[in-house]
């Protein structure tokens, strides 16, 4: 079983090639902490970071956002200096020094536990929203996909383990390494798995994803790791302004967005190239657009909306979004590429890039269905043929599309 301290020695230096962030971040009330991705990739592998005009220029590691910064308060709590949120340092809720299945709670238990939880002299802890929880995501992690066996020494979790304690799934209790899901307070506004499962969004720092999880598993309430939070309320709530020129500014994050996506599904490499082409053309009057990193992109999700409840994407209606026909033949809305590579434990660690599903997060489980909910964050191959995945990929048959849409972002002036 993983101990509280097993991953506390990971520390990666920031790259010297990244572009400095705009001062507008400092003025925003709820800036989005950077993904901290420090390597560049082509379609399959790590590379030296490309120069302007070269293929794959403009990816995540070449744009710095507000850098993750934490203070260990020495009392079992950690303060995030970017968001102002204060976190419980460890999901070891029973305090036995080991993070394992005995620390997991059901959704109802996690909600109730927050009401009586006390730590560091505070009694106002709460179960975090999905966006609060995702603010801790660190994309210097390595997804266990491709790893055989239960030895986790060659992989790396998607959270800063120099300050936070972390545990993979409890393999001695029959769990998989990737069963490290943490509960949020954000319920999916519809059901997954052919409309049968009431669903909770969770963050998985074991494999670097947001997914909607059924509240029951094999007839029993599903259990999650839990990290409570306290501090400013409202993180992740957008403050959007339609600028009347094809752009939308989110004053909460200091980011300006293109109001519309690009209108067609393209490869990850082409998404990066399209951003550069739009800059050369002064798209919407600006020449400093980029493909958003995955945390910036997730910050656009409107979790009160879904195709099955509001007849829309999980996106504020101030934005325009393309429509598609999904794998089940239903009208739907596309996945959007991020500039973030989703590294995994294979001979080709750069093959996948992270995306956010503004429509249904389709998968093949007894036929095509919404398996993870609109607002999930998963990953897609950068190259290949989607036809080679007739029943998707992974335990829930995640839909593989290879070609996805893109929406540009820049730092607001």
pLDDT tens-digit map of 188-207 = 999 999 999 999 999 999 99
Query: What per-residue confidence (pLDDT) applies to 180?
Result: 95
CA distance 211 to 121: 33
* Residue spans per domain, the chain: 70-230
> What residues contact 293, with CB distance under 8 A and at least 6 apart?
34, 35, 37, 60, 63, 65, 139, 338, 339, 340
Specify the residue for token string 């020094």. Answer: 97
Distance CA 334, CA 357 (A): 7
Per-residue pLDDT tens for 36-73?
Answer: 999 999 999 999 999 999 999 999 999 999 999 999 99
- pLDDT tens for each residue of 102-123: 999 999 999 999 999 999 999 9
What would the two tokens of residue 317 be?
């209606």
pLDDT of residue 164: 98
Residue 182: its H or E element: strand 181-187
């Amino acid at each position: 079983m993983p101990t509280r301290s097993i991953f506390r020695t990971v520390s990666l230096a920031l790259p010297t090639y990244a572009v400095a962030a705009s001062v507008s971040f400092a003025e925003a009330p709820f800036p989005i902490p950077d993904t901290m991705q420090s390597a560049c990739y082509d379609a399959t592998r790590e590379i030296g970071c490309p120069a302007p005009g070269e293929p794959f220029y403009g990816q995540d590691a070449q744009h710095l956002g507000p850098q993750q910064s934490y203070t260990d308060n020495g009392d079992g709590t950690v303060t995030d200096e970017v968001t102002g949120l204060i976190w419980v340092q460890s999901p070891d809720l029973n305090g036995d020094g080991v993070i394992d299945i005995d620390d997991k709670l059901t959704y109802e238990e996690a909600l109730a536990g927050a009401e009586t939880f006390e730590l560091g002299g505070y009694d106002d802890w709460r179960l975090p929203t999905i966006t609060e929880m995702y603010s801790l995501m660190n994309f210097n992690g390595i997804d266990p996909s491709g790893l055989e066996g239960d030895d986790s020494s060659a992989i790396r979790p998607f959270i800063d383990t120099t300050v936070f304690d972390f545990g993979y799934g409890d393999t001695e209790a029959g769990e998989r390494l990737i069963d490290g899901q943490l509960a949020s307070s954000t319920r999916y506004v519809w059901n997954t798995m052919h409309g049968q499962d009431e669903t909770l969004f969770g963050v998985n720092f074991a494999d670097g994803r947001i997914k909607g999880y059924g509240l029951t598993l094999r007839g029993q309430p599903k259990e999650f790791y839990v990290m409570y939070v306290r501090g400013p309320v409202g993180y992740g709530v957008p403050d959007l302004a339609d600028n009347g020129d094809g752009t939308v500014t989110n004053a909460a994050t200091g980011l300006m967005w293109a109001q519309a996506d690009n209108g067609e599904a393209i490869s990850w490499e082409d998404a990066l190239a399209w951003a550069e082409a739009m800059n050369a053309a002064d798209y919407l009057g600006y020449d400093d657009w980029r493909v958003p990193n995955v945390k910036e992109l997730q910050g656009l999700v409107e979790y009160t909306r879904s195709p099955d409840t509001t007849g829309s994407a999980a996106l504020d209606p101030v934005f325009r979004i393309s429509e598609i026909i999904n794998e089940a033949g239903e009208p739907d809305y596309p996945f959007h590429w991020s500039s973030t590579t989703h590294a995994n434990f294979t001979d080709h660690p750069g093959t996948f890039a992270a995306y956010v599903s503004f429509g249904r997060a389709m998968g093949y489980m007894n036929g095509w269905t919404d398996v993870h909910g609109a607002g999930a964050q998963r990953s897609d191959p950068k190259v290949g043929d989607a036809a080679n995945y007739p029943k998707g990929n992974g335990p829930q048959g995640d839909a593989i599309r290879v070609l996805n849409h893109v929406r540009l972002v820049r730092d607001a002036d």
